[in-house]
């Protein structure tokens, strides 16, 4: 697990000091070693910051040159099946100097060619490969988008790197904020691929290659960063398509019994976990006590000769705390468990670090506990396994079954009737609903009373205002519902969500939502959050549920093996977990991984937020319209509405702007 950076072109510019500076800006991603490789005649320089996980010797140093000398590689990630590939290559006469997966990658590319080799890789990766013979730079990113990779043009230089920090080390880089991308951020809480917050800097989409030729490195005209765009001369090329996988799965459904599906899934996931337990440094797992992380921990412990290290953070606010559940799971499994109850002050202390940690505006508040658990785990281990991916693959989010129940109950109504019901539901504030439901729960005790009922009732009211399932889904994943009204001079770019021609051809809307989450929310929010939080403390996070073979198997399962009775998701995951952990330790309402941002904004964060949201400041900076922001801020402070998520987006942009843009407002720019 590392950080990579590089430059191509420049017409005689000395690239070595620039690449060295780029690598230094992300050394926390790889504090154990750093290296640069340059070919001045070709105008190419590659850099690497190394976090040593496999082959701790100097033989694992990068950038690494292939045995023949043809290829040079700078690589971030892990190839988990490298031992199997190495054995296959050795049978053909390949020789190896060390024991790293990087060396196996290079030998595989030499033996089978780039695309054929990558098709064989099981892993998470972002890489830059220089072909000295063909004089072509190849960038590549793993199938799901676990590891990040940005690229773009700065003057005559083509540049790339693991994070946006690397571009700011290059003289002449203009930090022009892309206001269209900012509009998308205000909607989603993240900047969706292929855009970045900076004009002309892009994210390489998951499952893609991009080939760049030095003599034609400056090809912005006719270039599209979107691999699904047509009519573009230069664009990323897909080697693995989530859309193809989902469509194929829906037309070639698993035909075995539930028991056969369970057995096959157990074998697949056990193998995925086993591969991710290969490490030359201490290893553990995040354990929230929920279904996904508990299953990963259980399969790790099953395949370990000693107690697995597990890590949990807890909060003193009961509505956000799952630590006691995690502790019971750890005790049952017999793991070596560490928990840390985070004080209010510790959580707040993370907030000033977020703008530089995430390097691009990022508005998911669970970034705070994710960083805290990563920071705690890093004191004991260098690698930690995570349960991310289970919700998207096995229908864990409430919206996957909510929409059908809501539509069946209310879809037949005329629009005016639904809108009237919605108005009645929002006459009482979220806090008022919470108080009323809490009183009812006291008088009539039951496990069925919902967590945070006021927020759910207001969300339901918003959903009722839409006349289609597609509108409901868009509303559910949007924080600002009309984000163009917030960003001055911004127009929302076309995204996967808005361009239905890019949607998968699937037989029902539940699977369509799961597909859209798989290609947007998962890589751009969940995996970005985990990558920056873990790498910010030099911790490698591995995600066995996102082994591409598990992903492909999951998409072949009928919905009946994921959702039961239209109210419970992740059925197959649960059944597998019950083979290892009693049902009583797991069954409880889904909480998520959050912090009480809404309360903090009315309390200890109020002065900080008021400063960032001050109307004169917003007007002077010129990026955001103060009117809708101040309206929501006042409503939030009064307690009438809980606007924590749209306000957090604004605050994270403002905090990021303060940290990175200490100059007058950037010029307007559009795609």
Q: Comparing C-alpha atoms, which of 364, 402, 399 is closest to residue 479?
A: 364
> What CA–CA distance (Å, rounded) separates 480 from 190?
12
Spatial contact of 438 and 646, defined as CB atoms under 8 Å apart: no
Instruction: Give the pLDDT confidence score for residue 220 in this predicted structure.
Output: 47
- Please say if the pLDDT value at position 467 is more than 80: no
Torsion (CA) 37, 39, 42, 47 in degrees, nearest 10: 10
Mean pLDDT of 144-150: 98
> What CA–CA distance (Å, rounded) separates 26 from 532?
11
Instruction: Match 């001050």 to its residue by tokens.
Output: 614
The H helix count followed by the E strand count for the chain is: 27, 17
> What CA–CA distance (Å, rounded) separates 488 from 625?
6
Which position has the higher pLDDT, 423 or 604? 604
Alpha carbon distance, N-terminus to C-terminus of the chain? 33
Identify the DSSP state of 319.
G
Q: Tens digits of per-residue pLDDT, 12-60? A: 789 999 999 999 999 999 888 889 999 999 999 999 997 766 656 667 7
Which position has the higher pLDDT, 233 or 405? 405
Helical axes 469-476 vs 509-516, angle rounded to 10°:
30
Beta bridge partners of 72: 65, 130
Q: Please, which pLDDT band fits residue 227 given cuts at 50, 70 and 90?
A: confident
Q: Please, which pLDDT band fits residue 407 given cuts at 50, 70 and 90?
A: confident
Q: Comparing C-alpha atoms, which of 206, 218, 201 is closest to residue 160?
A: 201
- Please say if the pLDDT value at position 215 is more than 70: no
Which position has the higher pLDDT, 258 or 587? 258
Contacts of 278 by beta carbon, 8 Å cutoff, 6+ apart: 54, 80, 83
Mean pLDDT of the chain: 90
2 given a catalytic annotation: yes
Exposed, middle or buried: residue 247 (CB in 10 Å: 0-12, 13-18, 19+)? middle
Spatial contact of 613 and 630, defined as CB atoms under 8 Å apart: yes
The three-state DSSP-derived secondary structure of 331-382 is HHHCCEEEEEEECHHHHHHHHHHHHHHHCCCCCCCCHHHHHHHHHHHHCCCC
Q: Please, which pLDDT band fits residue 320 given cuts at 50, 70 and 90?
A: low
- As a whole-number percent, the residues of the chain with pLDDT over 90 amount to 70
- Please say if the pLDDT value at position 332 is more than 50: yes
Torsion sign, CA atoms 525, 527, 532, 537? positive
CATH superfamily of 244-395+513-585: HUPs (3.40.50.620)
Q: Please, which pLDDT band fits residue 440 given cuts at 50, 70 and 90?
A: confident
Task: Go through 373-390 and write b for each residue having 16 or more CB atoms within 10 A of its CB, e for each that does not.
Answer: bbbbbbeebbbbbbbbbb
Torsion sign, CA atoms 111, 112, 115, 119? negative
Q: Residue 521: count other Cβ atoms within 10 Å of its Cβ.
A: 22
Spatial contact of 384 and 283, defined as CB atoms under 8 Å apart: yes
Identify the DSSP state of 602.
H
Q: Tens digits of per-residue pLDDT, 256-286? A: 999 999 999 999 999 999 999 988 788 999 9
Adjacency order of strands within the sheet including 136-141: 64-65, 71-79, 123-131, 136-141, 208-212, 237-238
- Please say if the pLDDT value at position 217 is more than 60: no
Which position has the higher pLDDT, 394 or 410? 394
Instruction: Give the pLDDT confidence score for residue 669 in this predicted structure.
Output: 37
Range with the poorest average pLDDT among 269-278, 317-326, 341-350: 317-326
> What CA–CA distance (Å, rounded) separates 657 from 360?
9
Which member of 2, 38, 393, 422 is catalytic?
2
> What CA–CA distance (Å, rounded) separates 633 from 629?
6
Mean pLDDT of 192-199: 96
Q: How many residues does the chain have?
A: 671
- Please say if the pLDDT value at position 186 is more than 90: yes
**Pairing mode of beta strands 383-385, 540-542:** parallel
pTM of this structure: 0.92
Instruction: Give the pLDDT confidence score for residue 55 in this predicted structure.
Output: 58
Instruction: Give the pLDDT confidence score for residue 221 in this predicted structure.
Output: 44
> What CA–CA distance (Å, rounded) separates 662 from 476?
34
Mean pLDDT of 129-136: 96
Mean pLDDT of 378-390: 96
Range with the poorest average pLDDT among 4-18, 527-541, 548-562, 624-638: 4-18
CATH superfamily of 2-173+207-240: Aminohydrolase, N-terminal nucleophile (Ntn) domain (3.60.20.10)
Identify the DSSP state of 272.
H
Q: Please, which pLDDT band fits residue 214 given cuts at 50, 70 and 90?
A: confident
Spatial contact of 405 and 566, defined as CB atoms under 8 Å apart: yes
H or E segment at 112? Answer: helix 101-112
Mean pLDDT of 499-508: 94
Range with the poorest average pLDDT among 7-16, 249-258, 413-422: 413-422
> What CA–CA distance (Å, rounded) separates 635 from 620?
23
Q: Tens digits of per-residue pLDDT, 53-82? A: 665 666 778 899 999 999 999 999 999 999
What are the φ/ψ torsions at residue 613 (nearest 5 degrees)? -100, 10
- Please say if the pLDDT value at position 152 is more than 90: yes
- Please say if the pLDDT value at position 623 is more than 90: yes
Which position has the higher pLDDT, 648 or 33? 648
Beta bridge partners of 234: 223
Which position has the higher pLDDT, 457 or 26? 26
Contacts of 247 by beta carbon, 8 Å cutoff, 6+ apart: 504, 505, 506
Range with the poorest average pLDDT among 92-106, 113-127, 196-210, 465-479: 465-479
Listed by start position, the domains of the chain span 2-173+207-240, 244-395+513-585, 399-508, 597-660
Instruction: Give the pLDDT confidence score for residue 437 in this predicted structure.
Output: 80
Exposed, middle or buried: residue 58 (CB in 10 Å: 0-12, 13-18, 19+)? exposed
Q: Comparing C-alpha atoms, which of 120, 139, 158 is closest to residue 205?
A: 139
What are the φ/ψ torsions at residue 39 (nearest 5 degrees)? -125, 100
Range with the poorest average pLDDT among 170-179, 237-246, 658-667: 658-667
Instruction: Give the pLDDT confidence score for residue 670 in this predicted structure.
Output: 38
Instruction: Give the pLDDT confidence score for residue 499 in this predicted structure.
Output: 92
> What CA–CA distance (Å, rounded) separates 497 from 472?
12
- Please say if the pLDDT value at position 348 is more than 60: yes
Q: Please, which pLDDT band fits residue 228 given cuts at 50, 70 and 90?
A: confident
**Pairing mode of beta strands 201-203, 157-161:** unpaired
């Amino acid at each position: 697990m590392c950080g990579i950076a590089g430059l191509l072109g420049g017409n005689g510019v000395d690239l070595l000091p620039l690449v060295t500076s780029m690598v230094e800006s992300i050394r926390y991603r790889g504090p154990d070693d750093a290296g640069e490789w340059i070919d001045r005649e070709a105008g190419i320089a590659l850099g690497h910051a190394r976090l040593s996980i496999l082959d701790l010797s100097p033989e694992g140093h990068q950038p690494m040159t292939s045995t023949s000398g043809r290829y040079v590689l700078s690589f971030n990630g892990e190839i988990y099946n490298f031992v199997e590939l190495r054995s296959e290559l050795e049978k053909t006469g390949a020789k190896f100097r060390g024991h790293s997966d990087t060396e196996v990658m290079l030998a595989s590319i030499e033996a089978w060619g780039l695309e054929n080799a990558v098709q064989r890789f099981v892993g998470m990766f972002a890489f830059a490969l220089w072909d000295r013979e063909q004089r072509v730079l190849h960038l590549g990113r793993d199938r799901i988008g676990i590891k990040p990779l940005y690229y773009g043009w700065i003057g005559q230089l083509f540049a790339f790197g693991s994070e946006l920090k690397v571009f700011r080390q290059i003289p002449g880089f203009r930090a022009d904020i892309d206001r269209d991308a900012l509009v998308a951020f205000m909607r989603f809480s993240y900047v969706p691929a292929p855009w970045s917050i900076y004009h002309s800097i892009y994210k390489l989409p998951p499952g893609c290659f991009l080939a760049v030729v030095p003599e034609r490195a400056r090809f912005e005209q006719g270039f599209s960063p979107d691999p699904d765009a047509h009519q573009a001369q230069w664009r990323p090329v897909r080697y693995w398509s989530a859309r193809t996988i989902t469509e194929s799965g829906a037309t070639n459904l698993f035909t075995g019994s539930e028991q056969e599906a369970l057995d096959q899934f157990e074998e697949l996931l056990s193998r995925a976990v086993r591969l991710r337990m290969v490490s030359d440094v201490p290893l553990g797992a995040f354990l929230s006590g929920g279904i996904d992380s508990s299953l990963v921990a259980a399969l790790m412990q099953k395949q370990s000769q000693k107690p697995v290290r597990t890590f949990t953070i807890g909060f003193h606010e009961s509505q956000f705390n799952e630590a006691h559940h995690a502790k019971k799971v750890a005790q049952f499994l017999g793991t070596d468990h560490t928990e840390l109850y985070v004080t209010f002050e510790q959580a707040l202390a993370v907030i000033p670090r977020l703008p530089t940690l995430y390097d691009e505006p990022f508005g998911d508040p669970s970034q705070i506990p994710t960083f805290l658990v990563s920071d705690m785990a890093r004191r004991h281990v260098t690698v930690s396994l995570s349960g991310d991916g289970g919700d998207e693959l096995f229908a864990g989010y409430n919206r996957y079954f909510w929409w059908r129940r809501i539509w069946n109950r209310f879809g037949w109504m005329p629009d005016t009737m639904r809108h009237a019901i919605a108005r009645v539901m929002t006459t009482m504030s979220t806090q008022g609903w919470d108080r009323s439901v809490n009183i009812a729960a006291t008088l009539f005790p039951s496990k069925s009373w919902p967590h945070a009922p006021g927020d759910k009732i207001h969300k339901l009211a918003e959903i009722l205002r839409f006349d289609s399932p597609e509108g409901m889904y868009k509303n559910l994943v949007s924080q600002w519902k009309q984000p163009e009204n917030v960003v001055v001079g911004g127009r929302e770019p076309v995204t996967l969500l808005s361009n239905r021609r890019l949607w998968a051809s699937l037989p029902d809307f539940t699977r369509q939502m799961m597909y859209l989450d798989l290609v947007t929310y998962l890589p751009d929010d969940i995996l970005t959050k985990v990558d920056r939080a873990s790498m910010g403390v030099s911790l490698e996070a591995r995600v066995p549920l996102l082994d591409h073979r598990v992903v492909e198997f999951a998409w072949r399962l009928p919905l009946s093996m994921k959702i039961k009775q239209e109210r419970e998701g992740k059925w197959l995951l649960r059944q597998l977990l019950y083979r290892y952990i009693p049902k009583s330790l797991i069954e409880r309402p889904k909480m998520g991984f959050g912090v009480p941002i809404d309360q903090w904004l009315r309390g200890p964060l109020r002065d900080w937020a008021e400063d960032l949201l001050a109307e004169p400041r917003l007007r002077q900076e010129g990026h955001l319209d103060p009117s809708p922001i101040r309206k929501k801020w006042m409503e939030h402070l009064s307690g009438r509405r809980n606007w924590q998520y749209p306000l957090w987006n604004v605050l994270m942009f403002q905090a990021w702007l303060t940290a990175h843009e200490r100059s007058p407002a950037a010029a307007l720019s559009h795609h």
